[in-house]
Amino acid sequence: HTDREEDYRFLHSMLMEKKLHLLFKVKTRLCYKDLMTHPAAPFLCFQLAEELIDQGWRDEVKELVALFSKPNFKILLAVHDAVAQRDFEPRLPPIPDDALEDDEDSVKIVSLVKTKDPLGATIKRDKSTGAIVVARIMRGGAADKSGLIHEGDELKEVNGVPLEHRKPKEILTLLVQNNESIDYKQCAFSFVTCLSLFMQALFDYDPNDDPTVPSKDAAVAFKRGDVLRIVSMEDDTWWQACHLGDSNTRAGLIPSQQLHERSPIATCPSVSFPAGLRRSFRLGRKSSLAREAARSRRWSTGVHSSICPPTYKEVIPYHRDPRDRHRLVVLVGPSGVGVNELKRRLLISDPDHFGVTVPYTTRERRRQETEGVDYHYVSIHKFEEDILNHRFIEYGRYKGHYYGTSLDSVHRVMAEGKVCLLDVHPNKIKHVYTSEFKPYMVFVKPPRIDELRLTRRRAKFICDEEDKTSVRIFSEEDFEDMINLAETIESQCGHLFDKVIVNGDMAEVLRELKVDLEKVEEADVQWIPAKWSCSSPTKARRSCGHLDGWI
């Protein structure tokens, strides 16, 4: 008997539950239907096949015999036998008569059969009441599948042992004891909703290295770039997630985005990159003034120690139709790291597949140059008009002439059906980081300084294409600048990169990049930022706007 409206509501929703109706139907069928109870259907099947063969080896007989000998058909028959004999394993012990006391009308007894899998739940002591409560239920785990245990439920007893004044550790010992089943006496109900969205990890995580994780066994390890299916964000600190494609459907704990935000290193100062003109415009390396600025900023802001690490990026699956244009491939890296060299070698390796943009300039065409091959030659008036109309991804002025890469030139390469290779300054990424280009972002990183010294021994830094005398060898300072700038770029834009490649041995790097690009092109599913889709799944479920703050 109850007068409480919420009890009525609970009962009503439970009785109206479709799953419950289906279960009743199954039960009725099992109880009343006259099932064939012969215990050896697979054997009968074998006998029948033999009899059929005696009748002559006709096509129909051949087909039937082939069907009977298939392992899945045999298993189906074995399952039929098990069901027909009502041989449902395992048998649960009866609930003790004295289990329910009169005053415990909201207590339920839950009996779960132990399997090799863990229960998939964590418990904690409620600080205010001292009660032992279920802290988390791992989605897909035994507790979740049972539908009988919920987050917030209070545990009263385990296998008849009262839990009052017991520490969570002692309770865990009770749970792992060698019983076939576990009986829980618990009260209170709470309902959880199931969520499913995808996050790409932007950092490596190993619970064994994390002293703050509530349970190492319940946590999921992952690597940067892994796509995780998030099934619960109800806890501010620990989300629940599964690895994509993991056959194990049980979710585990991963640190939430908020957990990082709450950490003392959560403030994220905005750092801009030293502006420099890329050599892809034949403009030489960044000016000494810009280098000075970069160096002074490096020492004055202490930027490297105060930037918060990237956490997750919400992603959605993208299935590229073969008729669709290829994704743009964007190469980013500090000046001198080898972005142009990599681009050039990729292009030479397969000029029918890869393409590069032709820059625009206002300078005079030279005798050996060809319009549309070396440059597009335009007037100053036209160039400035295009600047005002935001047609350039990047542009700059050198020795009185404008140079720039336009969005149109990217479109042109893509329209030819080629993979457009583009190198951009980190400050300009935003111009191409759009659903229109769906860029695959590659960060070209310098190796450690000793490897830089070794590999760049003979490499020259061309300062000015027009003045060949300005070719010079990398200095120690150039290497340091390169490494420091790479660190800044990675900490500021790391969340945007799909691939990080360390440019040590050029031949090896080229091979690695080609394999990676091929893999991306051939993949059935590619993962792209959810913000490139008009209907991000989170918009419908819950706001995850803070993630966008990273871009």
Ligand X SMILES: Nc1ncnc2c1ncn2[C@@H]1O[C@H](COP(=O)(O)OP(=O)(O)OP(=O)(O)O)[C@@H](O)[C@H]1O
The residue ranges that bind ligand X (CB under 6 A) are 278-279, 285, 333, 335-341, 455-456, 459-461, 503, 506
H/E run at residue 6: helix 5-16
Q: How far apart are CA 248 and CA 269, in angstroms?
A: 40
User: Toward ligand X, which CB reaches closer, 509 or 544?
Assistant: 509
H/E run at residue 161: strand 161-162
**Residue 423 CB, nearest distance to ligand X (Å)?**
6
User: Toward ligand X, which CB reaches closer, 184 or 354?
Assistant: 354
Which two structure tokens, joined as six digits, stand for 366? 């030279």
The answer to whether the beta carbons of residues 38 and 48 sit under 8 Å apart is: no
Rg (C-alpha) for the chain, rounded Å, is: 33
User: Toward ligand X, which CB reaches closer, 460 or 542?
Assistant: 460
Listing DSSP states for 388-430 in one string gives HTT-EEEEEEETTEEEEEEHHHHHHHHHTT-EEEEE--GGGHH
Give helix 59-68 / helix 71-84 axis angle, nearest 10°: 60
**Residue 356 CB, nearest distance to ligand X (Å)?**
12
Q: Half-sphere exposure of 547 toward its Cβ, with a 13 Å CA cutoff? A: 23
Q: How far apart are CA 551 and CA 547, in angstroms?
A: 8
Question: How would you label 179-212 residue by residue, b for 16+ Cβ within 10 Å and e otherwise?
Answer: eeebbbbbeeeeeeeebebbbbbbbebebeeeee
**How many Cβ atoms from other residues are within 10 Å of residue 133's Cβ?**
17
Residue 150: name the closest of 179, 212, 193 by CA: 193
User: Toward ligand X, which CB reaches closer, 171 or 463?
Assistant: 463
**Residue 313 CB, nearest distance to ligand X (Å)?**
25
The single residue listed with the structure tokens 């096509």 is 59
Which two structure tokens, joined as six digits, stand for 548? 């966008």
User: Toward ligand X, which CB reaches closer, 315 or 509?
Assistant: 509
**Residue 446 CB, nearest distance to ligand X (Å)?**
9
User: Toward ligand X, which CB reaches closer, 234 or 341?
Assistant: 341
Q: How far apart are CA 551 and CA 540, in angstroms?
A: 21
**Residue 409 CB, nearest distance to ligand X (Å)?**
18
The answer to whether the beta carbons of residues 513 and 330 sit under 8 Å apart is: no
User: Toward ligand X, which CB reaches closer, 278 or 325?
Assistant: 278
The answer to whether the beta carbons of residues 190 and 151 sit under 8 Å apart is: yes
User: Toward ligand X, which CB reaches closer, 205 or 479?
Assistant: 479
**Residue 142 CB, nearest distance to ligand X (Å)?**
52
Q: Is the peptide bond before 71 cis (omega within 30 degrees of 0)?
A: no
**Residue 291 CB, nearest distance to ligand X (Å)?**
11
**Residue 182 CB, nearest distance to ligand X (Å)?**
59
User: Toward ligand X, which CB reaches closer, 413 or 482?
Assistant: 482
Q: Half-sphere exposure of 91 toward its Cβ, with a 13 Å CA cutoff? A: 4
Pairing of the two strands 181-187 and 227-232: unpaired
**Residue 525 CB, nearest distance to ligand X (Å)?**
32
**Residue 75 CB, nearest distance to ligand X (Å)?**
56
**Residue 415 CB, nearest distance to ligand X (Å)?**
26
Residue 134: name the closest of 82, 105, 175 by CA: 175
